[in-house]
Amino acid sequence: MRKWISFPHREGQGSRQAHADFPAEGIYEREVGRSGFFGPASHLHHRHPPTGWTAWEGPLRPRAFDLNELPKTSTAPWEAPLVLGNAHCRMRIWSCSEPMTALFRNGDGDDLLFVHQGQGEFFCDYGHLSFREGDYILVPRSTMWRLEPAEPVTLLMIEATNGAYQLPDKGLVGPHAIFDEAMLDVPAIDDAFRAQQTETPWQVVIQRRGQLSRVSYPFSPLDAIGWHGNLAVCRINWRDIRPLMSHRYHLPPSAHTTFVADRFVVCTFVPRPIESDPGALKVPFYHNNDDYDEVLFYHAGDFFSRDNIHPGMLTFHPCGFTHGPHPKAFAKAMASPKTFTDEVAVMLDTRDALDAGPLMTQVEWPGYVDSWQAKS
């Protein structure tokens, strides 16, 4: 059995409690940690912001993309443009305004659909459910499904490639914290589902190893009359999440984990009160998350640790450098902090390096790497 080297040590001036009660005015804390906030960590205290660079050269850099500017010509989920991906995770964005004319079945892994915009009806092997903006829809691997939008829909699609989604271990707070499993809705064999069980021809598009196959039926394959078990599509809205909070301590992103896959986690940031203790840090702390790539998709609200970011944008911080709040956001939080944050964002931490999709350079904000400079 492996064991992290552990030698708690204290050197020079520093706070006893992480993310609180800094040793002096104008001091900046930086967390250097392993295993995505779960492993050993040290907290360094600096005289200057750890993100105070003046120039950046080389391929490793923070990146930002405006997904609103991607082409919306895809008519089916298997045509949705790739945003970021690796061998264990593929993130796509798909805009849909018309009912799907074929069923989709992903044999490469579970799909997690986050509804960024719109509403409509979702039909699958297990029945029918309605969806709206802010819903997560978890689709188990090889489930047949289709959408009927009631208005234009934009979905963030996160595939657990060759893997599955589970719920996180909630530890000391117990299984009912953050959200109770009873909050997960499942499809129903209802009148809307039975009404679509026609004898008209349908095709099923099956994705396996990134390749597509088409299977034709002379009837609708979504013809179940009932089911029982504990494997099914499920749905939860971000508004059903009750975030962990501490008025005296800024919790790490891992406290907001919503789903866990084999090599990455999905976290959800939702509105909450901001820390009120005078000595507590009020914004995300500067940190080196040196085992994970970090991705943030901005859904709604005022993103209190960022400047010039709006809903529909995505930031990508590969592991290997320090990142944290923008200078203006940090200064404002320290001088006159807000009492409440209204931001909603979806975050991925991936254990394996991510590569950007082929269209992403067309929608990139090239000046993002310079946005930490004090003049911004």
Render each residue's pLDDT in the chain as its tens digit; 376 residues.
Answer: 788 888 888 888 888 888 888 888 888 889 888 888 888 888 989 999 999 999 999 999 999 999 999 988 778 999 999 999 999 999 999 999 999 999 999 999 999 999 999 999 999 999 999 999 999 999 999 999 999 999 999 999 999 999 999 999 998 999 999 999 999 999 999 999 999 999 999 999 999 999 999 999 999 999 999 999 999 999 999 999 999 999 998 898 889 999 999 999 999 999 999 989 988 888 888 888 789 999 999 999 988 667 789 999 999 999 989 888 888 777 776 677 788 999 999 999 999 999 999 999 999 999 999 998 866 4
Whether the Cβ atoms of residue 295 and residue 353 lie closer than 8 Å to each other: no
Total domains in the chain come to 2
**Closest-CA residue to 260 (of 194, 331, 350, 366):** 350
Q: Are residues 221 and 348 in the same domain?
A: no
pTM of the shown model: 0.94
Geometric angle at alpha carbon 321, from 265 and 34, rounded to 5° = 50
Question: Do residues 191 and 249 share a domain?
Answer: no
Q: How much is the pLDDT for 189?
A: 98
pLDDT given for residue 314 in this prediction:
97
- Cα distances (angstroms) measured from residue 87 to each of 135, 156, 329, 333: 26, 18, 35, 38
Residue 308 has a pLDDT of 82
Distance CA 364, CA 338 (A): 30
Question: What is the secondary structure of 237-282 as a DSSP string?
Answer: EGGG------SSS---GGGGEEEE-SSEEEEEE--EEPP-STTB--
Torsion angle of C-alpha atoms 24, 26, 31, 37, degrees rounded to 10: 90
In a domain, 130, yes or no: yes
What is the Cα 99 distance to its own chain's centre? 26
Q: End of a domain among 221, 238, 255? A: 238
209 and 80 in a common domain = yes
pLDDT tens sequence across 161-171:
999 999 999 98
The answer to whether position 15 is within a domain reads no
CA atoms within 13 A on the CB side of 252: 18
Catalytic residue among 250, 256, 299, 317: 250
CA distance 285 to 330: 9
Residues 269 and 294 in one domain: yes
**232 and 260 together in one domain:** no
Q: Residue 149: its pLDDT value, please?
A: 97
The pLDDT value recorded for residue 33 is: 84
> d(Cα 187, Cα 182) in Å, to the nearest integer?
14
Q: Is 19 a catalytic residue?
A: no
Residue 375 confidence (pLDDT):
60
Instruction: Say if residues 357 and 84 touch (Cβ distance below 8 Å).
Output: yes
Distance CA 322, CA 134 (A): 30
Detail the residues annotated as belonging to a binding site for homogentisate: 323
In sign, the C-alpha dihedral spanning 143, 149, 150, 154 is positive
Q: Is there a contact between 141 and 240 (Cβ–Cβ < 8 Å)?
A: no
What was the pLDDT predicted at 306?
73
Beta strands at 153-161 and 272-273: parallel, antiparallel or unpaired: unpaired
Contact between 23 and 14 (Cβ < 8 Å): yes
Q: Are residues 208 and 260 in the same domain?
A: no
230 is a domain residue: yes
Closest by CA position to 323, among listed 33, 47, 27: 33
Identify whether 105 is part of a domain. Answer: yes
Measure the CA–CA gap between 101 and 79, rounded to whole angstroms.
Answer: 14
Q: Residue 359: which domain range?
A: 28-64+243-370
Are 284 and 259 in a shared domain? yes
Q: What is the DSSP string of 166-189?
A: BPPP-GGG-TTSSS-GGG-B--B-
Q: What is the CATH number of the domain that holds 294?
A: 2.60.120.10
Which residues define the annotated binding site? Answer: 287, 293, 323
pLDDT, position 102: 98
Strands 103-106 and 202-208: parallel
Task: Give the CA angle between residues 159, 162, 163 to the nearest 5°.
Answer: 75
Cα(267)–Cα(168) distance, integer angstroms: 10
- Binding-site entries for Fe cation: 287, 293, 323
* The domain boundary residue, chosen from 238, 266, 282: 238
Residue 376 has a pLDDT of 42
Q: Are residues 213 and 260 in the same domain?
A: no
Distances (CA, A) of 39 to 4, 42, 88, 340: 8, 10, 22, 30
